[in-house]
Amino acid sequence: MIRLIGYFFGIGAFLLLGVAGAVALYLGVVTKDLPDYEVLAKYSPPVTTRFHAGNGALMAEYARERRLYLPIQAIPDRVKAAFISAEDKNFYQHPGVDLTGLARAIAVNLQNFGSGRRPVGASTITQQVAKNFLLSSDQTIDRKVKEAILSFRIEQAYSKDRILELYLNEIFFGLNSYGIAGAALTYFDKSVTELTIAETAYLAALPKGPANYHPFRKTEAAIERRNWVIDRMVENGYVTKADGEEAKKQPLGVNPRRGGAHLFASDFFAEEVRRQIIQKYGDNALYEGGLSVRTSLDPRLQIAARKALQAGLLSYDERRGFHGPVKTIEIGGDWGEPLGAVPAFSDVPEWKLAVVLSVDAQGAEIGIQPDKEASGKIAAERVTGHISAKNMQWAYRSANGDRKSAKSPEGVFGAGDVVYVEPLPEKGEYRLRQPPKVQGGLVAMDPQTGRVLAMVGGFSYGQSEFNRATQAMRQPGSSFKPFVYAAALDNGYTPASVILDAPIEIVAGGQVWRPENYGGGSAGPSTLRLGIEKSRNLMTVRLANDMGMNLVAEYAERFGIYDKMPPLLAMSLGSGETTVLRMVSAYSVLANGGKQIKPSLIDRIQDRYGKTIFRHEDRTCDNCNAGDWQSQDEPVLTDNREQVLDPMTSYQITSMMEGVVLRGTAAGKIKLDRPVAGKTGTTNDEKDAWFVGYTPDIVAGLYLGFDNPAPLGRGATGGSLAVPIFNDFMQEAVKGIRPSKFVVPEGMSMIAVNRKTGMAAYEGEPDTIIEAFKPGTGPADTFSVIGGLDQYVPPEEILKNSPQANQAVTSGSNGLF
């Protein structure tokens, strides 16, 4: 018997050694290619990049995986308790693998064997970290063994809090959200510190299978799973029974956060910043780098710019009639469903889509597009309203080219037509609206720093993402002329220099070019000031010809209007193509005394760790960071920017453009409590209408025109279309800014001159103006004319022998807008 026992013992020992050897060999093979768990120390997950306005308001977010990384210290205990209760209640006790939980899972799986139920897992949070970070999701024994081995090693290398931090920031919650911070924002539009017990429990229920507990498609399953998590929190002592019961009574309350731009009216601005970030750092930095981008956007000015440009576009468009309905649908049954399927502008919340239910001579009964629920379904509620005849009179004229006119609403549209409407203060009353076909762009800038404060690229980003402020290449027309005059003032001319305003022929390449003033006519000899105030084409061509177009081209490139300008005389009238942003940047140089600026939409960029990797401000301050005061001088901010224009020239051209606003092509249309300088512009056939202007504090510029350039119509000039929009915007923009005057550089002489002749005025002489002259210059002693008259002729003789010039100089008629 003893020998038999010894025999079996020997066999058992041999088998045990064999099994141990086989296990050891298996583990050796399995662990041979185990990934390096030390990479967890350098974990840098894809993190959401966030854009902020100048005041810190969140503007937009960009991510492939919507994730905001939170250190464990920033995650509330309640949130940690919910996930531990749902996923691994013994997390802080086990060494990486929960043997008790594993045994329980094996027992349950044996009991359910053959039932078709999915096997119960026993993965700890540590094992999930190992799987998510280092292994695949294959359901194999090899992977489970590797997972367990890595879990033991991870527990030895990292603290429990570090492991939980990795887990809570990595897991997928559905709806493209990763990590607890991203999930809180995605599902509830809240930070993790604001989550309730019920909300926390629902998020803790999701990692098991986000699609199985979808808040809208699987609502009952989601609530059931959430309540199970709440029960586990109560059972584990993290929540009182009373609080748990109260939490289970709450609805899911999911409020999905919309993507894209979050700050109202910032879509065009945010998209331009997005393009710049990609160009500078690449796609991965934007969508995975977790950058924090502080932009220069001023939300108040952005809203004012949007409102002013939209109002101007709509005013022009409605004066030209009704384009027709957006669509026509069947209204025999429930009109809400087909109407809800028609896409509306997401960034024009003032408007609603509506379907015409009936129409008569007094107006139209309409049905308003139902709101969509969070699940995407059309709401069951149906709202109706009324458009009275007086609130759609502008639509009586057709804009389709046939110029037909209706006499009542019955001739405008019929039942089933889908149109845009805007609610009026009277309950149930609406005004007919339509998206304009004319477009435009507007930019506002701080002239001292180049910070872009507002940017609008069209009527609606939802209508068209094309940014007409930065992407549309348009002819600036006469708004380019100030740079021709600036070149002249910088090279020996004065505001009182006299140029002949008379017909001229330019022969080049066998072709004859005969430029004309807007409206025809000419004014004879006139001062530079009069030429820019009344925007004389003929004077500008003669002035450019006298200087040489190479000089004009050099100045245009120096101001950044063009990269390379061909030295053709027609370019002096703004026939080249540029953008609104470039024009506003160039005018900012005139406004700030001639300092070069770099237009910027971005103030600062920080990486995911808070380190500043870009700053727009390039001025230096050597002593600003002194630890204490030791009787040293006050720190001085050093401005290293290039001086691209003489400050005296800058003031002279500013003063001349003040005349544009006071007496010229913008006269009577800008009403501000401070000095304003600016220039109108209208291109050939009235295809574009421009105005760029500035106060000492803000520069703003805009244009209106069709995307496919076409005539805007007779009289559609910069003065009639663009200036009112500029005025509306600036009325709001200067609120809260103390009025100031343009600074006269030291050393300039202020001399009274005759507005007609440019010669010094005697005391009491009528029609005089105070003109600014540089040292060594002043009014001419004799009347001399540039560009046509070589000998001296008394001014009274010129005026006497030229009735047309006399009338034009006196009345200021026939100006180019």
Kindly give, in sequence order, each residue whose CB lies less than 8 Å from that of residue 498, ignoring residues fewer than 6 positions away. 525, 526, 527, 528, 757, 758, 780, 783, 784, 785, 786
Annotated active-site residue in 478, 535, 585, 655: 478
C-alpha distances (whole Å) from 98 to each of 89, 111, 131, 153 are: 10, 20, 16, 14
- Which alpha helices (H) appear in 628-690, and where do they start and end? 647-662
Largest CA distance in the chain: 149
Question: Nearest 5°: CA angle at 359, between 353 and 362?
Answer: 110
The string of DSSP codes covering 233-249 is: HHHTTSS-HHHHHHHHT
- Which alpha helices (H) appear in 739-812, and where do they start and end? 795-801, 803-811
Distance between CA atoms of residues 276 and 531, nearest Å:
40
Distance between CA atoms of residues 777 and 773, nearest Å:
6
Question: Nearest 5°: CA angle at 636, between 633 and 638?
Answer: 150
285 touches 291 (CB < 8 A): yes
The yes-or-no answer on residue 478 being catalytic is: yes
Distance between CA atoms of residues 555 and 222, nearest Å:
67
Sign of CA dihedral 89, 93, 94, 96: positive
Sign of CA dihedral 195, 201, 206, 212: negative
234 touches 428 (CB < 8 A): no
Kindly give, in sequence order, each residue whose CB lies less than 8 Å from that of residue 58, ignoring residues fewer than 6 positions away. 50, 51, 52, 262, 263
Output the six-digit token pair for 562. 């063009």
Kindly give, in sequence order, each residue whose CB lies less than 8 Å from that of residue 180, ignoring residues fewer than 6 positions away. 70, 75, 79, 83, 168, 169, 171, 173, 192, 203
CA count, 13 A, side-chain hemisphere, 334: 10
The residue type at 765:
E
Sign of CA dihedral 50, 54, 56, 59: negative
Question: Nearest 5°: CA angle at 572, between 568 and 574?
Answer: 110
End-to-end CA distance of the chain: 122
The residue type at 622:
D
Strand, coil or helix: 156: helix
Distance between CA atoms of residues 493 and 555, nearest Å:
15
**Nearest Cα to 129, choosing from 104, 148, 111, 116?**
148
Spell out where 271-393 has E strands: 292-295, 327-328, 352-360, 363-368, 383-388
* Burial zone of 538 (CB within 10 Å; 0-12 exposed, 13-18 middle, 19+ buried): buried
C-alpha distances (whole Å) from 94 to each of 127, 242, 709 are: 11, 30, 73
Distance between CA atoms of residues 28 and 14, nearest Å:
20
Annotated active-site residue in 87, 272, 533, 771: 87
Distance between CA atoms of residues 255 and 806, nearest Å:
72
Give, for 161, the enclosing helix (H) or strand (E).
helix 160-170
Sign of CA dihedral 791, 796, 800, 805: positive
**Nearest Cα to 437, choosing from 397, 400, 474, 391?**
400
For the annotated catalytic residues, the residue numbers are: 87, 478
